Amino acid sequence: MKPLLKLLASLEITIGSFVLGMVLILFGTIDQVNLGIHGATEKYFHTVFVTQYIPSIDINIPYMPGGYLIGFVLLVNMIAAIFYRFRMSTEKLGIWMVHFGFILLLLGEFISSVFQHEASLTINEGETVDFTESFRESELAIIDTTFDDKDRVYAIPQAMLEREQQVSIEELPFNISIDEFLPNSVMQRRNESTPDSARLANQGIGLQAYAIQVPETGKMNDRNVPATIVTLFSKDSGENGSEVIGTWLAREFVPNQTFSYRGRNYTILMRREREMIDYAVTLKDFSHDRYLGTNIPKNFSSEVTVRDKTTGLEQDFLIYMNNPLRYDDLTFYQQGFMNDDTTTILQVVRNPGRSLPYISTSLMTLGLVVQFGFSLQRFSKKRKKAAA
């Protein structure tokens, strides 16, 4: 057991992990030009191995350790070093604190990378919104608009669309077949030159256009525009099988498409994935200050009212640059604006590990101070003895 602990606690593993980490950062920074921040983070840091896709053999080949693997090795190395190298004593308290702080920092990053969720909240002045929209994930929404006073929404998340499977929702009188899903797409007009490989729809916008797949993007200023081809067919089977209602092309930024079936009216559309929250946010006023004589933003802020759906409690807050609103388990940051300064865009972040970096860095700082204090005390004693 001791030889294994000695190996895991070796300084060579520590140095090697830090060197590999620096190489990984270098590669990720360079490739960020092509992949964007999100794409580079997913490829290099939020993965066990960094891989390269080889089209000729249709396989991903790993060629260097990813952030998860390097972080795991460092975590094991730190824990082993604590128990192998340092005995628990007052004089080593600072070293223990520094090591525990570093372990917390690694765990905090892992928790954030796995469980952190980012979305946006777009509100017009005077409007109330109780849902957030994902930055990168989309969903297929089928909305029952039969009644004027309320709509009933059935949403299929992107994770299910990617499987290209049949979806059955109990409340709907038809099944939904996901024929094809395109993570990023562009629209082309249907004409004589439409390729035979294009999957075509026979309803709505699909009668005039079709979608083709393009490479996905991870750049901050770009976003993927997914599309899907869906076929709806009756749940009732006759002699000739189920009745096919039609095939639709659904894509973001395409006008809503409507149809009727068995006396009910429906709308089908692709949109950013929504998540309902437990409170409603109303934008009372948005302010955009500029430097005098220029269009350079000086400050922009949102005055909002948050109403808790459960208790009915209403509270007013001011959100502006570097002053986010932390409410419940969400943090709201002022991100942007549009529509001639009448619409605010808030970034909404849920991060269960958000406090760990503060705790870990404080613990490491305190550990360094404590260890320096003990070293200074020992040095002072030795100097006094030498003077005596």
Rounded CA gap, 206 and 187, in Å? 10
Burial class of residue 256 (count of CB atoms within 10 Å of its CB; 0-12, 13-18, 19+): middle
Percent of the chain scoring above 70 in pLDDT: 98
Tokens found for residue 114: 């796995």
H or E element at residue 208: none
Say if residue 387's pLDDT is above 80: no
- Rounded to an integer, the average pLDDT of 67-77 is 94
Which of the four pLDDT bands, split at 50, 70 and 90, describes residue 239? low
d(CA 344, CA 231): 37
Task: Read off the pLDDT of each residue in 65-74 and give the average, rounded to a whole number.
Answer: 95
User: Do 348 and 119 form a contact (C-beta atoms < 8 A)?
Assistant: yes
| pLDDT tens digit sequence for 135-163 | 889 999 999 999 988 899 999 999 999 99
pLDDT surpassing 90 at residue 81: no
Which residue has tokens 């204090």? 373
What are the extents of the domains in the chain?
2-116+355-387, 118-128+278-350, 133-275
Report the C-alpha gap between 286 and 304 in whole angstroms. Answer: 9
Q: How far is CA 359 from CA 104, 108, 197, 240, in A?
A: 8, 10, 56, 66
More confident residue, 388 or 161: 161
Cα gap 268→248, rounded to integer Å:
8
7-61 residue pLDDT tens: 888 999 999 999 999 999 999 999 988 888 888 999 999 999 999 888 888 888 9
Q: So what's the pLDDT on residue 197?
A: 78
Dihedral through CA 90, CA 95, CA 101, CA 105, nearest 10? -160
Please determine, for residue 1, whether its predicted confidence score (pLDDT) is greater than 70.
no
Among 275, 272, 279, 281, CA closest to 302: 281
Q: What angle do CA 220, 222, 225 make, to 5 degrees?
A: 135
Residues in the chain: 388
Beta strands in 109-169 (DSSP E): 117-124, 128-144, 152-157, 166-168
- Separation of alpha carbons 136 and 338, rounded Å: 20
DSSP string, 153-200: EEEEEHHHHTTT-EEE-TTSSEEEEEEEEESSEEEEE-STT--TTS--
CA distance 373 to 367: 10
How far is 131 from 301, CA to CA, in rounded Å? 20
Task: Return the pLDDT at 143.
Answer: 96
Q: Rounded mean pLDDT of the chain?
A: 90
pLDDT score for 84: 83
Q: Kindly report which listed range (69-78, 86-95, 155-164) carries the lowest average pLDDT score.
A: 86-95
Q: Taking residues 353-379, what's their average pLDDT?
A: 91
Answer yes or no: are the C-beta atoms of 329 and 352 closer than 8 Å: yes
Q: Which residue has the higher pLDDT, 106 or 222?
A: 106
Q: Does position 344 have pLDDT exceeding 70, yes or no?
A: yes
Give the C-alpha separation, 58 to 21, whole Å: 28
